[in-house]
Structure 1
Amino acid sequence: MKIQMKTPLVEMDGDEMTRILWKQIKDILLEPYIDLKTEYYDLSLDERERTKDQVTIDAANANKRLGVAVKCATITPNAQRQKEYNLTQMWKSPNGTIRAILDGTVFRKPIMVKGITPCVRNWEKPITIARHAFGDVYRDSEIRVNQPGIAKLIFEAESGEQIVEEIARFTGPGVLQGQFNKDDSIESFSRSCFEFALSSHQDLWFSTKDTISKTYDHRFKDIFQNIYDREYKDKFESAGLEYFYTLIDDAVARIIRSKGGMIWACKNYDGDVMSDMVSTAFGSLAMMTSVLVSPEGNYEYEAAHGTVTRHYYKYLQGEETSTNPVATIFAWTGALKKRGELDHLDDLIAFANHLEQATLQTIEEGEMTGDLITLFHNPQVEAKKLNSRQFLEAIAKRLLVLQVTKA
């Protein structure tokens, strides 16, 4: 008998190779065991074009309504993609749109597996990146300047007051970018980080570039410090935990020299880049979990990597690919566990744990995708490269054993 669900997950399908893996994961690893209930949204670039990106907004609002979502990787189009897909415009990042609607914080953590040692030899524990999920460059406005002139930053208050700041004097062509953030979003970000640190019993580091951005970045620093002093200092000290702020330059140096095991809170773009650095140093971009936690208690799980375009083009040509699906599998298991937790479904939680165990066991016993072969080292185990489907089927064999043993 299949495991039953009470409340649907919001399922956000995606693009290219990850879309192919998405269906295979459901077919091979999920639907044989779960009566899978989802509210489906197609976030492929074709569908976003057809709906003028309304489908992304609908999916985000469904997440707010149902509480838990799982998302496949999606394309954020550039000029080349606009031409390739014949788009009417370069639609904004779906992740950026969803984060703007949900707010909150993205927590990204590498998936550690025996036999794969981090490139940074002293890293012994995972480093969790806490990425602010609102504003900054992901909600920016941009202008291409084609002639001489003056660029100004203007704020017109409802009271009628006007603030004007000159940005630059152009003597020729150039570009302009305007970005923003809001105190209430930064406050939510800080509280999410402090709460997550307490619940996971990890130190919290926070970094910006306030020496250069003396108003914008400094506002982040001040809000974090004020909330920490008022609401969390005693709790951190009682738990034996540390919170500190440092410049991002210093944070990078400290992280490299550390043993890991902390939460590193970053602004939106910093978190985007640093999570890629951390995941790669721990092994592979395809080995990192990612969950967006909103202030209202909504959760959106996804892989931290992109759509694996190069493999997709090979797939379209009929070539065999060895694409790593681990982060996408863990997106599903994270969502299933949270759904099970909220709906009090112990069997669903146990299944998700078994699937994660089977996935790691498959790699540790020497069966893996091509990106992990050169990283894997265990003198007692010979590594074998599998294509994507073979890898999923190898996981399925171990998952069946775990489920039968449990039964």
Structure 2
Amino acid sequence: MSARGGLWGTGVYFARVRPARQASAPVFRPRSPDQRISGTEARMASAALACATSISLTRAITRYSVAASLLFFATPVTPPNPRYFRPFLNFIMSLPAGFEKIEVKNPVVELDGDEMTRIIWQKIREELILPYISLDIKYYDLGLEYRDQTNDQVTVDAANAIIEHSVGIKCATITPDEARVKEFNLKEMWKSPNGTIRNILGGTVFREPIVLERIPRPIPGWVKPICIGRHAFGDQYRSTDYVVPGPGKLQLVYTPADRGQKTTLDVYDFKGPGVAMSMYNTDESITGFAHASFKMALSKKMPLFLSTKNTIMKKYDGRFKDIFQEIYESTYKSQFEAAGIYYEHRLIDDMVAQAIKSSGGFVWATKNYDGDVQSDILAQGFGSLGMMTSELLTPDGKIIESEAAHGTVTRHYREWQKGNETSTNPVASIFAWTRGLLHRAKLDGNNKLRDFCLDLEKACIEVIDEDGIMTKDLALAIHGKDMKREHWVVTDVYMDTVNAKLKEKLAKRGQV
């Protein structure tokens, strides 16, 4: 053994164990204080720790030898900053002797995705989830190529698996347009996988911002969260559209199942080419949407607003308004009054204006398209599109599908393909995993899994708010045009730091 001291000013001294090596072996250079650990090194450290644990070394030897070995890797170094390594080092110095994975009794359904989010998704699964959890994953590849290969049957199969197992965890996916059809040489322009899954599951998509103290809000008046519920069934997302080739009459025909008299409505007399669309919804789905929305408002103890355009679509949107009011009066009014909250219907344009002027603190029930648009506005208003949870919840509360609320981040993926550094915010994708697993924990009564998920979510937030380590989108929100390269890190560095923070938290619980 040879002594080496002073871990970057921490006052901690330790012994470094030098294994015997051949004369031809390379000489390892110690790391200097301005050199940070890489993701590869972190994985090497984890492997070293696993080996040390497996041969039952004592706690002290495990701690100090692993910590020492981290300073003597011979991989290329990248300056600066020691702050990226310190959280991981602190964890190493507090390690118990071993680690036992959290057992999860029932499966979850994983739905893989596309482009940059697919790359990030794999790192989340392999480095933030599976090292800590013994989990049966029912995997479905919803990457666009495989959807095309299976004629989109994989999407239907995935949705049915979610119904069977109650928990779906989904990566962001491509919804193809004309350009994507050409790019991927698709058989046809497949429908949105999100839309297909939502139509099979039913339920309501609830999105809520992940609020950070460090990130300034473009709408500073929003001091309380706004939870937006999107009716995830029908409307434009399950519509039938048609390119009208020339002059002619468009009609809407309803044929009763009991072979009663048909109803035919004249829609429009085309004088030339154009487009047309027919969409629908059902009383059953709207009723489920209402129940889910009222229950969410009660659980959060916040008022509920429903927004429609019933002044224009008197029968279509009017049906939403009437069903909500009937259910409120018959089922929830007394509960709302007891909780000190209320329900109100507003026109969508008025509601948007009121939301901007408000301080937040309410649940907003929206139709399918309105929720798709307004949820992104809410996310940006609170600071970032990458900081938004998204959960599809069925009316009975038994089934959940969690996903990242943003897209596949194509622009970053193009840079990644070129070998350039990318700084993509992974927080929403991480929360997709934690929110799905939290529901699994709730259904199974698994407190260890619940605590793990909460620790991982806190680690994501604390790394940004307390340590100031963040991706480029958040740094831009803080510094604007004065942002410099030192203000942000690449995705891998952020996620490695989150992993280190998570290990600290698990160590305090005695779980590692």
Same structural fold, with TM-score higher than 0.5 when normalized by the shorter chain: yes
Q: Which moved more, 1:338-347 or 1:136-145?
A: 338-347
Any idea what the Cα deviations from partners look like across 1:299-328, whole Å, max 9, x if unmatched? 000011100011111111111100000000
CA offsets 1:192-243 (integer angstroms, 9 cap, x no match): 0001111111110110000011110111111101111111111111111110
Matches of 2:470 and 2:163, distance apart in 1: 36
Residue identity opposite 1:163 in structure 2 = T
**Match for residue 371 of structure 1 among 473, 479, 483:** 473
Instruction: State the partner residue of 2:215.
Output: 116
Give per-residue Cα distances to partners, 1:29-84, cap 9 Å, x unaligned.
11221123210000000110111111000100000000011000000000100010
Cα distance, 1:383–1:189 mapped onto 2, change above 3 Å: farther
In structure 2, the partner of 1:405 is 508
- 1:118 CA drift (Å): 1.8
2:307 pairs with 1:204: no
Summarize the Cα distance change of 1:186–1:258 in structure 2 as closer, same or farther, 3 Å threshold: same
Which amino acid is the alignment partner of residue 500 of structure 2? Answer: K
Partner deviation per Cα, 1:101-141 (whole Å, 9 max, x = no partner): 00010000000011113211111111111000100000000
The one-letter code sitting in structure 2 at the alignment partner of 1:366 is: G
Letter in 1 for 2:224: K
- 1:387 counterpart = 2:478: no
Q: Where does structure 1 lack aligned partners over 5 or more consecutive residues?
A: none
* Deviation for aligned residue 1:376: 2.9
Aligned counterpart in structure 2 of residue 191 of structure 1, from 284, 291, 312: 291
State the alpha-carbon separation in 2 of the partners of residues 322 and 190 from structure 1.
39
Paired residue for 1:358?
459
Which stretches in structure 2 are left out of the alignment for 5+ residues? Answer: 1-99, 480-484
One-letter code aligned to 2:494: F
- Tell me how far 1:336 sits from its aligned partner: 1.2
- Residues 187 and 224 of structure 1 are in contact (CA less than 8 Å); yes or no, is this contact kept in structure 2? yes
Residues 366 and 383 in structure 1, CA contact (< 8 A), matched pair in contact too = no
Matched, 1:150 2:252: no
The residue that corresponds to 1:176 in the other structure is 276
Corresponding residue for residue 194 of structure 2: 95
Equivalenced residue count is 403
Amino acid in structure 2 at the alignment position of 1:45: L
Who is 1:52 aligned against?
A: 151
Q: How does 1:134-283 map to 2 (within 5 A)?
A: 134-158=233-257, 159-283=259-383
Aligned to 1:30: 129
Q: How far apart in 1 are the matches of 2:486 and 2:327? A: 49
Hey, what's the Cα distance between the residues in 1 that align with 2:336 and 2:160? 34
Secondary structure of residue in 1 paired with 2:477: coil
**Aligned-partner Cα distance in 2 for 1:244–1:150:** 40
Bigger relative contact order (CA 8 A; separation at least 6) = 1
Among candidates 3, 10, 26, match of residue 109 of structure 2: 10
Partner of 1:311: 412
Amino acid at match of 2:297: A
The DSSP-based 3-state class of the residue aligned with 2:134 is coil
| CA drift at 1:8 | 1.1
Give the aligned partner of residue 295 of structure 1: 395
Distance 2:109 2:203 in 1: 18
Give the SS at the match of 1:375. helix
| Pair 1:344 & 2:426 matched | no
Q: Deviations over 1:143-165 (max 9, x none)?
A: 11111011111111123211111
CA contact (8 A) 1:354 1:402 kept: yes
Residue 169 of structure 1: SS of its match in structure 2? strand
After the TM superposition, list the runs of 4 or more consecutive aligned residues in structure 1 that deviate by more than 4 angstroms: none
Code of the residue aligned with 1:368 in structure 2: it is M
Q: Please, which of 415, 418, 425 is the counterpart of residue 324 of structure 1?
A: 425
For 2:404, the aligned partner's letter is A
What letter corresponds to residue 132 of structure 2 in structure 1?
A: Y
Q: Which amino acid aligns with 1:350?
A: D
Same amino acid, percent of matched pairs: 50
- Structure 1 Cα separation of the partners of residues 202 and 311 of structure 2: 26
TM-score (norm 2): 0.78
RMSD: 1.1
Instruction: Supply the AA of the counterpart residue of 1:367.
Output: I
What's the secondary structure of 2:191's corresponding residue? coil
Distance 1:383 1:260, change over 3 A: farther
SS at 1:367 equivalent: coil
Which deviates more, 159-168 or 257-266?
Answer: 159-168
SS at 2:478 equivalent: coil
**Pairwise CA distance, 1:19:** 0.3
Q: CA deviation at 1:383?
A: 7.3
Residue pair 1:367, 1:383 contacting (<8 A) in 2 also: no
Q: What letter corresponds to residue 435 of structure 2 in structure 1?
A: G
